[in-house]
Amino acid sequence: MKNILVKGSGDITDSQQFFDFVVEKAQSNYVVVICGGGTKISAALEKAGYAVEYDELGRRVTKTWEERIIMCDVLEHEERRLQDKFVGKGVTVVPPILYAGSALCPINGDDLVKAYDLGFDEIYVFTMKARIEKKKAVFQECPKVKIIGV
């Protein structure tokens, strides 16, 4: 049995290809899915009146507690939605949120994949086909990560 990590962009987690891949891997392995939600987070922040900004690495910049709460709400909703989808399939879903004491720290899902690298035998990152090259650049120093476009 292998430990397998699958990160799914929020834009592709409803695809049948993503679902089938995860369920197949879970038949004989321990599978953890990191749920994404970048597009939904940006929409929620804009709806709340916040300007969406990114740093030089393409990670969202947050400045206020309220922005972090919005991000976490979206990610936790995605976590629950996917967990419901995988009920009975042997899949664990986690949002990219860290806690340092009582500090709430939503983290870029790709950065969480990198942080979890040592604990998993296989790692897959599902993204939209148009983002494959960008993801390859993000994970260029992570040979274990395989990028899959949907």
Q: How many domains does the chain have?
A: 1
Q: Looking at residue 86, what is its pLDDT?
A: 97
Q: Looking at residue 90, what is its pLDDT?
A: 96
70 to 23, 91, 110: CA distances (angstroms): 30, 26, 19
142 to 51, 90, 114, 118, 124: CA distances (angstroms): 32, 26, 8, 11, 11
Q: At what angle do helices 38-47 and 65-85 cross, to 10 degrees?
A: 140
Residue scoring higher pLDDT (63 or 74): 74
Domain hosting residue 8, numbered range = 3-149
CATH number at residue 18: 3.40.1160.10
Q: Looking at residue 112, what is its pLDDT?
A: 95
Whole-model pTM above 0.95? Answer: no
What is the biggest distance separating any 2 CA atoms in the chain, rounded to whole angstroms?
Answer: 47
Q: Which of 144, 128, 139 is nearest to 13 (CA)?
A: 128
pLDDT band at 129 (very low <50, low <70, confident <90, very high): very high
Q: Looking at residue 63, what is its pLDDT?
A: 81
- Please state, rounded to an integer, the average pLDDT across all residues of the chain: 93
